[in-house]
Amino acid sequence: MCGADVPRLKSVAIDATVLAVCGECARFGEEVSGPALRASTMPPVIAQRLEARQRRMTPKDVYEQGGELELMEDFPRRIREAREARGWKQADLGAKINERASVIAKLEAGAISPGDELVRKVERQLGIKLKERVQPVAVKKAAASGGITLGDLLKEKDDGA
C-alpha cells in the first residue's frame, strides 16, 4: 500500500481484498496464511464474478474447438421456409423480433447479411439454426499435408486478396 521496497511481503485481507503489503501496512488488515482463506474472506458475489472473469479471460484455441461459426449460405431459404411453415407473413415475424417487415424481406431475398444479434433473434423465434461450424482453411490444409508453414499462410493471404 505504501510502496516501500521490502524483501518480504505479508498477505493481508483488507476490506475483503487480499493484498501483499509490508509489515508496517499489515496492521490495517488481518493476516491470511494462503489462498484457501482468500475465498472465505471474500463475499460470495465477488468470488463468483472473479471465477467468471477468469473463465472469460482464459485464451481459447480456435483450432482445438473445431472451427468457428459462420452464417450458412442458404440462410434466406431457411428463414422463409420456417416462417411460411408457421403461417406467418413477413410483418408477423418482424413484429415478433422487433424488426421492420422490410428487414425480413431483405433477409429472405439475401440482399442483406444479418448481424449476430439479428441472427440470434431469428434463430430463437423460428427455432432454426442459421450458423454452422466451419474449420479455417489453414486447418484443413494442415490436416491434408501434415503441417502448415508460414509460407503457406502468406500464399493463402495473397490468393484471397
What does pTM read for this prediction? 0.48
Residue 128: per-residue pLDDT: 94
Could you tell me the sign of the dihedral formed by the alpha carbons of 39, 44, 50, 54, in that order?
Answer: positive
pLDDT tens digits, 10-27: 888 887 788 888 888 888
- The CA distances from residue 35 to 38, 41, 107, in Å, are 5, 10, 53
Q: Where are the domains of the chain?
A: 10-57, 71-131
CATH number of 71-131: 1.10.260.40
pLDDT tens digits, 27-52: 888 888 755 444 456 678 888 888 88
